[in-house]
Structure 1
Amino acid sequence: MIKIGETLFLDIRKPGQEAQKFQCKVEDIREDHLLVTYPSNLRTNKSEFFMTGTKFYAHFTTKDKITYKFHTEMTDRKKEHIPLLILTFPGEKNLEKIQRREFVRVDTAIDIAIHPTDYQFQPFTAITSDVSAGGCAIILPEQHRLKEGMELKCWMVLPLKDQHRYVKQKAKVIRIIKGENGKRDKAPLQFMKITERDKQHMLRFCFEEQLMFKKKGLL
């Protein structure tokens, strides 16, 4: 299930404080522990130092797009070809599945370009109403030809703090939400084959947006 080379996401959650989010790579898997690269902060993109005994909430996503979570603790450091951390691992039988709705979703407007996979409709641009690492919802033009179950391609630019990141994904229309009282239709989209790199960019963007909302007192 978990494999060498897998990207592992780590959260540190303290009561009354904003969760800190990190990512690392699994370099080796032992019976009851993992050897991982030094975690980098998703917000700053810099590696950080951790004390022995630091506890994390960890999760990873398989090639089948199933996400699992578990609790872990840093027990030691090890120097091989690169410096590594040793984390406890409860075993695959004790991993817990994460439902897709558990991905952080933020209400935000991002320009997005929508293209057909074939010739079902003319390409158009739209604005998102919310985004997450698993998908997004878009506000549709008045005249559109999208239907539930339709597959499409989408391009968006994530305005991260350090630089803009371009995300290109194949997505599926979950449903069409009819607009009422003069409002436009909306379409929730589910990313079908999101790459690990794009997922990391999406998670980081959602984290930065949440942090900004909290600073402004909107959350």
Structure 2
Amino acid sequence: MFPKINEVLYIQIASTDEKEEHKEYKSRIADTDDDSFLIEVPMQQGNSRLKRLFFGEELSISYMNESGVRHYFNTYVTGFEEDVVRLVRIRKPLPDEISKIQRRSFLRVHASLELAIQCEDLTRAVVLTEDIGGGGLSVYIEPDVKVQEEQKLKCWLLVPYRNGSIDHVQFEAEVVRIKKLESGRELGMLKFSQITDSERQKVIKFCFERQLDYRMK
């Protein structure tokens, strides 16, 4: 069921950039343990460019078993190892999370969270998120908030957890795309451009708790 050492993996990466999300990369399993696969740094199909991955980044992976049947699972980056070459540690899925049917639902959850933003001209605003994941988030933009595609934003996100505690996540983001809504507002798709591993982990923790809440309903 599980892919084996030296097995080739085909990878797509969760992104708010539609072009990036449809790119496919190839890697190989270098080692494995009870909880993880250690894979080589992925290489883009067609041009052999290496793709740098980040902690918490969400991946959709497929591979062929010995019978020639393609299998799929979703996972995320949990760390890195320095061996002869740099290796990426990804979460090993549970057996029932591996499917013969492609499922591109990344770890992105709907959530209305307060996000304070500062634009490059130092103007500030508070917006609400529509969804959030390990690679970025979408936010509602009111008509009086001037945000444009490719703009860089400094951001402070208020993240509540199930135990009642609240964290503040600080990062920089790039506006990848803006979509006009019938209500007159806009929906801005943001990707993290600068975020520390510890701050990204806070977002991942929130997403897992929210997914757990959905499953328990």
TM-score, scaled relative to structure 2: 0.54
Counterpart amino acid of residue 150 in structure 1: Q
Identify the residue that residue 206 of structure 1 maps to in structure 2.
Answer: 207
**Residues 158 and 169 in structure 2, CA contact (< 8 A), matched pair in contact too:** yes
Matches within 5 A, 1:60-139: 64-66=52-54, 103-116=106-119, 118-119=120-121, 122-139=123-140
SS, match of residue 209 in structure 1: helix
| Corresponding residue to 2:166 among 157, 164, 167 | 164
SS state at 2:209 partner: helix
Contact 2:36 2:90 in 1 (8 A): no
The residue matched to 1:192 in structure 2 has which SS?
Answer: strand
CA RMSD of aligned residues (A): 3.7
Deviations 1:2-32 (A, max 9, x none): xxxxxxxxxxxxxxxxxxxxxxxxxxxxxx7
Cα 1:56/1:97, change in 2 over 3 Å = closer
Whether the 8 Å CA contact 2:111–2:129 is kept in 1: the answer is: yes
8 Å contact kept, 1:138–1:187: yes
Once the two structures are superposed, residues 23-48 of structure 1 have per-residue CA deviations (whole angstroms, 9 ceiling, x without a partner) of xxxxxxxxx769xxxxxxxxxxxxxx
Cα distance in 1 for partners of 2:36, 2:180 equals 38
List alignment gaps of at least 5 residues for structure 1: 1-31, 35-53, 71-88
**1:133 deviation in Å?**
1.3
TM-superposed deviation, 1:168: 0.7
Corresponding residue of 2:69: none
SS for the counterpart of 2:200 is helix
Q: Match of 1:142, SS?
A: coil
Cross-structure match for 1:55: 34
Is there any run of 5+ residues in structure 2 with no aligned partner, and where?
A: 1-29, 42-50, 62-81, 92-103
Query: Is the contact made by 1:68 and 1:97 (CA closer than 8 Å) also made in structure 2?
Result: no
Higher gyration radius (CA): 1
Aligned length: 141
Is the CA contact 2:174–2:191 (under 8 Å) kept in the aligned structure 1?
yes
Instruction: Check the 8 A contact 1:113/1:125 in 2, yes or no.
Output: yes
Secondary structure in structure 1 of the residue aligned to 2:167? strand
Higher relative contact order (Cα pairs below 8 Å, separated by 6+ residues): 2
Measured at CA, do residues 167 and 56 of structure 1 come closer, stay the same or move farther in structure 2, by a change above 3 Å? Answer: same
Deviation at 1:103, TM superposition (A): 4.9
